[in-house]
Amino acid sequence: MGQTARTVGFQSGERNVFFHILTACNLSCKHCYINPDQHGTMRVSREDMEAWMGLFADKEKKTNLIFLGGEPTLHPDLVHGILKAKELGFAVTVDSNGYLFHDFLERVTPEQLDYLSFSLDGPDSTVNDPIRGEGVFEICTRNLRRAVRRGFNVSVIYTVSSRNIDHLERMVPLLAQIGVKRFFIQVIGLRGKSAGPDTGEGGAEKAEPWQVSREQWLAVVPEVARKAAENGIHVTYPKVFLDQDERFECAGLVAENYFIFPNGRVYRCPLCEDHPFNSLCIEGGRLVTNAGLTEDNFFRLTIPEGCVMNRLLQPDNISYDQDGHPEFRISCCLLKQEIKRG
Ligand code: SF4
Ligand code: SF4
């Protein structure tokens, strides 16, 4: 059977609402992106959860709502939120670290929950646990198997870094054996040609950086995706580098993505989440557009490097030729490639 990797453009009319209902978590992964200074330590109350989802509900448009944290299953009202979200017409996903608190699998059915995603960063405990914590692989995979047995539509998210890129390939037999049909590969951040141990003053080596190089990424990820597809697994991974003939588009202009945090901040671009650049916020139960300089002001800027926020906030993945021109444009971080058995 044939298969091709294809770039998944931003679907017109498709909307994604990423709802961080709390920032608390039982784990402390080494690469955790949660930032309590920017997003608070509170959790969204049951009442606000309902009201805030209502602000984004639109039965005319297909809208995915993804419950995130922290660890969303720590929230005692998550199941209530899922049922409410279905009533409002959302397709609902829960992204969990695999601990599934509050008897989660016993309290929802596969009919009520469209997708259940598990984060796993290695094909065994020796790779996963140094990143996510001791004993996490065992608990996560046990619950993954339980969820598959109960008929949930499960997927796995793997965040590629220098700590685990060499083990990505071994995820394929593991996922096939467990019966996972969807695999999301994410990237922790890519560096340009300078990838390798940071060298401090006098050439002393600092700790190994987490990022992988463009060369490593391209050498490993598309090939693993191809193998996974051969095994009947549908794989999605970030495009990162645009081909010469591909058009650059900023999701902030051509797609509807909302990243909601418990302190009421709402971002349109995930790269901005560590900064108070959010273009929207929820205040007094209303969705308000922020005045002043926000992420919105950057979406329209056209630069030869592609994504403006990438250029401003994480330019390590850009490389330039001798004339100072970027060798590749960086795509929107929300642009994906996907590969499945054709
Ligand atoms: S499970 Fe997620 S939220 Fe929790 S520590 Fe790990 S990365 Fe952070
Ligand atoms: S990642 Fe870049 S291209 Fe994508 S929404 Fe943000 S600014 Fe736009």
Per-residue model confidence as pLDDT tens digits over 92-106: 999 999 999 999 999
Name the residue with the closest Cα to ligand 1, atom 5: 28
Per-residue pLDDT of 3-49, as tens digits, reads: 667 777 676 667 999 999 999 999 999 989 888 899 989 999 999 99
Q: Distance between CA atoms of 274 and 272, rounded to whole angstroms?
A: 6
User: How confident is residue 189, by pLDDT bands cut at 50, 70 and 90?
Assistant: confident
Alpha helices in 71-152 (DSSP H): 78-87, 104-107, 125-132, 136-149
pLDDT at 204: 46
**Across residues 222-228, what is the average pLDDT?**
94
Residue 191 lies in domain: 3-341
Centroid of ligand 2 to alpha carbon of 69 (angstroms) = 22
Q: What does the angle CA 68 – CA 55 – CA 267 come to, to the nearest 5 degrees?
A: 55
Q: Is the pTM higher than 0.95?
A: no
Q: Is 44 in the pocket of ligand 2 (CB under 6 A)?
A: no
**Across residues 291-295, what is the average pLDDT?**
94
**Across residues 222-246, what is the average pLDDT?**
92
Centroid of ligand 1 to alpha carbon of 243 (angstroms) = 33
Q: Distance between CA atoms of 96 and 116, rounded to whole angstroms?
A: 8
- What's the token pair of residue 101? 């608190």
Name the residue with the closest Cα to ligand 1, atom 7: 32
CATH number assigned to the domain comprising residue 138: 3.20.20.70
Cβ(180)–Cβ(233) below 8 Å: yes
User: How confident is residue 267, by pLDDT bands cut at 50, 70 and 90?
Assistant: very high
pLDDT at 188: 86
Q: How many domains does the chain have?
A: 1
What is the average pLDDT score of the chain? 91
Question: Phi and psi for 337 in degrees, rounded to 5?
Answer: -105, 145
Name the residue with the closest Cα to ligand 1, atom 1: 97
Cβ(305)–Cβ(311) below 8 Å: yes
pLDDT at 198: 45
Q: Distance between CA atoms of 302 and 249, rounded to whole angstroms?
A: 10
Name the residue with the closest Cα to ligand 1, atom 3: 70
Centroid of ligand 1 to alpha carbon of 1 (angstroms) = 38
pLDDT at 20: 97
Least confident segment among 71-80, 191-200, 232-241, 322-331: 191-200
pLDDT at 340: 78
* Torsion 128-238-192-309 (CA) sign: negative
Centroid of ligand 2 to alpha carbon of 321 (angstroms) = 24
Centroid of ligand 2 to alpha carbon of 253 (angstroms) = 9
User: How confident is residue 196, by pLDDT bands cut at 50, 70 and 90?
Assistant: very low
Binding pocket residue ranges, ligand 1, CB within 6 Å: 25, 27-29, 32, 34, 69-71, 97
- What's the token pair of residue 296? 């919105």
Mutate to test the pocket of ligand 2, among 8, 307, 313, 317 (most ligand atoms within 8 A of CB): 307
> Read out DSSP for 32-85?
----HHHH-S-B--HHHHHHHHHHH--TTS-EEEEEESS-GGGSTTHHHHHHHH
Centroid of ligand 2 to alpha carbon of 78 (angstroms) = 29
Centroid of ligand 1 to alpha carbon of 69 (angstroms) = 8
Least confident segment among 3-7, 276-280, 291-295: 3-7
Residue 195 pLDDT > 60? no
Q: What does the angle CA 334 – CA 340 – CA 342 come to, to the nearest 5 degrees?
A: 135
Least confident segment among 33-42, 84-93, 196-205, 244-253: 196-205
Q: Which of 78-87, 211-220, 322-331 has the highest mean pLDDT?
A: 78-87
Q: Distance between CA atoms of 167 and 301, rounded to whole angstroms?
A: 38
Q: Tell me which ligand sits closest to the C-alpha of residue 28.
A: 1
Q: What does the angle CA 179 – CA 103 – CA 119 come to, to the nearest 5 degrees?
A: 45
CA-nearest of 76, 77, 107, 73 to 93 is 73
Residue 194 pLDDT > 90? no
Name the residue with the closest Cα to ligand 2, atom 6: 269
Name the residue with the closest Cα to ligand 2, atom 4: 332
| Amino acid letter, residue 101 | F
Residue 50 pLDDT > 90? yes
pLDDT at 162: 94
Cβ(181)–Cβ(236) below 8 Å: no
